[in-house]
Amino acid sequence: MRHLKLFILFTYFIFCNDTASSQEVVDSIAEKAEPAAVNTNSSNYTDSAATEKFKIVDQYILKMKRRNKPVPVLAKEITDPFTSEEEKVRALFIWMTNSIGFDCITYHNKKTPQGNFSYKTPEELEIKLNKYYYNYAMLVLRNKKGVAEGYSILFREMCKSIGIKCELVEGRASENKDKIKKLRKRNSFSTNHTWNKVQINGVWYYLDVTWASGYCDKPVKKFFKKYNAYYFLTPTDKLYATHAENYKFTERRNNPTKQDED
């Protein structure tokens, strides 16, 4: 019987089990990751080309009434009027940035949600993880707010339900761009943020629903809804200047059963 322990502290994530452990995981815990990354920059980046390109999509989404529905039902309702993958991703992105707010209370709550999964086969683990993530996404939907972990999981679950490939990305985010530049030269580092990458017509792009939805005051007591187009889509070879991806943690996050195959 194997065990996989899932620890989530805001946006910090680690997978490990009792039969195999990684020194990098141990080191990352010891390093005590920075507080979860929060966007406190009120400046607004606009993309007039995207605004014009997705005008019909955006107008439709912004007129939608907020309803409490299961993830697959809501995702279908959001994306059904559109045919291309790009339009569907845009629709989900705009819906989330307009409908989900940052949860400042949870950000300051030091309790660590945990999930411990016993499993005999990778297939069994996958079933349990899918259930865990779906329930997490539904929690964010019901509350209409979450931290980066919740935003990213909900976005992935919505994409998944309509057949669009989407993954969670683990890394560090900071408004200190010089610091981010230095981190990118390291093979591994502790993480403080989760965002997504999504596949559109066979090409992968990054997007950060959390930072695109608005910003917080410096004490992280109040959230201000303000769409920021900078975090919509960027090719994976041109990551945001404010983000550094930890590729090993991202791989472990999206393929937790891979260690059973190694």
- Tens of pLDDT along the chain (262 residues) come to 665 555 443 333 333 333 333 334 333 333 334 578 999 999 889 999 999 999 999 999 999 987 789 999 999 999 999 999 999 999 999 999 999 999 999 999 866 555 566 788 888 888 888 999 999 999 999 999 999 999 999 999 999 999 999 999 999 999 999 999 999 999 889 999 999 999 999 999 999 999 999 999 999 999 999 999 999 999 999 999 999 999 999 999 999 877 555 4
The answer as to whether 54 is a domain residue is yes
The answer as to whether 14 is a domain residue is no
The answer as to whether 217 is a domain residue is yes
Coil, strand or helix at 88: helix
Distance CA 250, CA 171 (A): 8
Closest by CA position to 118, among listed 110, 105, 127 = 127
Distance CA 194, CA 37 (A): 9
Distance CA 134, CA 132 (A): 6
Distance CA 198, CA 203 (A): 8
Specify the DSSP element, H or E, that contains 127: helix 122-143
The answer as to whether 27 is a domain residue is no
- Running DSSP on this structure, what letter comes out for residue 44? -
Residues whose CB is less than 8 angstroms from the CB of residue 42 and which lie 6 or more positions away in sequence, other chains included: 215, 224, 226
Distance CA 42, CA 197 (A): 24
pLDDT in tens, 34-61: 578 999 999 889 999 999 999 999 999 9
The answer as to whether 16 is a domain residue is no
The answer as to whether 164 is a domain residue is yes
The answer as to whether 101 is a domain residue is yes
Question: How many domains, in total, are found in the chain?
Answer: 1
Q: Distance of alpha carbon 98 from its chain centroid, rounded?
A: 16
Structural domain boundaries, residue 241: 2-8+40-260
The enclosing domain of 153 has a CATH number of 3.10.620
The answer as to whether 29 is a domain residue is no
Entry pTM: 0.87
